[in-house]
Amino acid sequence: MNTRFDFSDQCGIVTGPASGIGKAVALLLAESNAGLVLVDRDASGLEAVTRSCREICATAPLAVNADVSRESDVRRMVDETLSLFGKIDFLVTSAGILFRNRFTDISMQEWDELMDTNVRGLFMCNQLVVREMLKQGGGTIVNVASVAGRSISLIGGVHYCASKHAVIGITRHMARELCTQGIRANAFCPGATHTPMIYDNMAPEEIKDLENRIASGRLAEPEEQASVIAFLLSDSASYLNGACLDSNGGSVML
């Protein structure tokens, strides 16, 4: 059992847990005895992480195969969570996509596809969950942004960068508007991390060059980033609201 965090009295939703940081978050929360609803459009990855969580947590997680860019799927996600647990204590939005096309080569179809997931989907998840949190008197939200939302992206295109700036703006506004109603919302801004998103989009020599740009000289492990998210969800971060917490290996400037 994980001794760093205890979420045994809480339940909530993690989007994008099939791989990367979202997967590490799901496993850490399962070790911390949280009641979990895991939401991803990658059916095979979702099945694998759900199985792993069931092996380490007495409370079996609910797997919801859904696409956060579809309103009907997001509503189903919320309905199934309430049906199982009767409440939603936390939300972690880790679902996101990335494309690398250059500024002049981005089609409007590609722009819309990325924004539908990274911005519209994140907004819908937050809005529908917040409506339930207001009924129950509070909750905690961590929206996964990126160092790209602080400056520029060294991996994705301008649409990815713009989407992560939007995540931070949405989160800050939510925090200001909802803080007196018991809801904390913070943005998490991870730097380059050992995830499929990196390896699916970058050649080995590009990854090496990226490591050389990081002050710590290496990419983060997903488990390191998951620990920061768990902290933001925990009571130890009770006065953090509207924050954008960086975890980038000391890379203050890109």
DSSP assignment string, 33-73 = T-EEEEEES-HHHHHHHHHHHHHH-SSPPEEEE--TTSHHH
For residue 5, tell me if it sits in a domain. Answer: no
pLDDT per residue as tens digits for the range 158-206: 999 999 999 999 999 999 999 999 999 999 999 999 999 899 988 999 8
For residue 157, tell me if it sits in a domain. Answer: yes
For residue 254, tell me if it sits in a domain. Answer: no
- pLDDT value of position 154: 82
**Structural domain count, the chain:** 1
- Rounded distance between C-alpha atoms, residue 176 and residue 168, angstroms: 12
CB 92 within 8 A of CB 167: no
Boundaries of domain holding 157: 11-245
For residue 202, tell me if it sits in a domain. Answer: yes
Active site members: 160
DSSP 221: P
Element (H, E) at 200: helix 196-201
Residue 151 sits in a domain of what CATH number?
Answer: 3.40.50.720
For residue 1, tell me if it sits in a domain. Answer: no
For residue 253, tell me if it sits in a domain. Answer: no
- pLDDT value of position 254: 47
For residue 2, tell me if it sits in a domain. Answer: no
pLDDT per residue as tens digits for the range 143-152: 999 999 998 8
59 exposed, middle or buried (CB, 10 Å; 0-12, 13-18, 19+)? middle
Which of the pair, 18 or 210, is modelled with greater confidence? 18
> Average pLDDT, stretch 110-117?
98
For residue 3, tell me if it sits in a domain. Answer: no
42 phi and psi, to 5 degrees? Answer: -85, 95
86's CB contacts (< 8 A; 6+ apart) are: none
> Average pLDDT, stretch 126-133?
98
CB 114 within 8 A of CB 68: no
pTM: 0.94
Closest to 91 measured CA to CA, from 164, 143, 18, 137: 143
pLDDT of 252 higher than 60: no
